[in-house]
Amino acid sequence: MAIRFQYNKTSRQQLEKQLNVRIRSLPTLQNKETALRMEVKKAKKEIEELDEELEKRIHSYDRMVPLWSEFDPALVRVKDVELSKKKIAGVILPTLEKVLFETRPFSLFNRPKWFLDGIKSVEELAEIAIRLDFQEIRLNRLEYARKKTTQKVNLFEKVQIPGYQEAILKIKRYLEDEENLSKSSQKIMRAHQEQRREEEGSIW
């Protein structure tokens, strides 16, 4: 990134201001990046656990496969999901609080006894699957935020801060050179004036 500047004190002051803003912001950004990395790790672990739980539940119902052909899946449906918002490392994330189900009325006399257990099992499986999908949405958002924060940290650390420091140093050297040249030219002028005065004095 090319930093535009002019070789004067005003430009140097503006650059120093910008540099200080970035130096002060960098630790906060680094902390945010660390927090997001931890949240990403946590979200991945939760996804793995939910995935394992779902697999385990599905396998536990293998012996009931012949019975499931009698079950009417239209008896139960997801009515609603209760959500809340949580701020993690400056990122607003949706949080799944509760999954609400609706069961269609049916006669216990005309259905097998295990239908109530079947409804409960379907609700449990559906809730795990919904939580899994939800956790994947959260993970994607966290990954995106972490990626953006890492890019900003790298931009500050590797590009902008060194760039501003280099530009300030160039201005500083330029101004020092100008000052030295000015002092030298003043010395030369004084020497000339003194020599002229001496010459004029020797004439008289």
Residue 76, pLDDT score: 86
pLDDT value at position 66? 67
Identify which of 45, 47, 42, 38 has the alpha carbon closest to the alpha carbon of residue 149: 38
Comparison of pLDDT for 201 and 8, the residue scoring more: 8
Query: Could you write out the DSSP letters of every residue in 99-154?
Result: EEEEE----TTTS-TTHHHHHHHHHHHHHHHHHHHHHHHHHHHHHHHHHHHHHHHH
Domain at 60, CATH number: 1.10.287.3240
How do residues 165-194 score in pLDDT, each as one tens digit?
999 999 999 888 887 787 777 777 776 777
Q: Does residue 73 fall inside a structural domain?
A: yes
How far apart CA 80 and CA 83 sit, in angstroms, is 10
Domain that holds residue 80: 9-183
Mean pLDDT of 86-101: 88
Counting residues of the chain whose pLDDT is more than 70, the rounded percentage is 91
Residue 163's Cβ-side half-sphere holds a number of Cα atoms within 13 Å equal to: 14
Please compute the mean of the pLDDT values over residues 108-119 and round it to a whole number: 74
Assess if residue 96 is contained within a domain: yes
Q: With respect to residue 2, please indicate whether it lies within any of the assigned structural domains.
A: no
Instruction: Confirm whether 88 is domain-assigned.
Output: yes
Q: 142 or 194, which is more confident?
A: 142
For residue range 143-160, list pLDDT tens digits in order. Answer: 999 999 999 999 999 999
Is 63's pLDDT higher than 80?
A: no
Whether 54 has a pLDDT exceeding 70, the answer reads yes
Model confidence at 138: pLDDT above 70 = yes
Q: Identify whether 195 is part of a domain.
A: no
Categorize the per-residue pLDDT at 1 as very low, low, confident or very high, splitting at 50, 70 and 90.
Answer: low
In a domain, 30, yes or no: yes
Is the pLDDT assigned to residue 12 strictly greater than 80?
A: yes
Establish if 82 belongs to a structural domain. Answer: yes
Structurally, the chain folds into a number of domains equal to 1
Q: Can you give the pLDDT at residue 47?
A: 95
Question: Distance between CA 16 and CA 22 in Å, rounded?
Answer: 10
Helix (H, G, I), strand (E, B) or coil at 171: helix
How far apart CA 158 and CA 160 sit, in angstroms, is: 7
pLDDT at 33: 95
* pLDDT at 139 (0 to 100): 94
C-alpha 86, offset from chain centre:
15
Residue 1 inside a domain? The answer is no
pLDDT of residue 68: 65
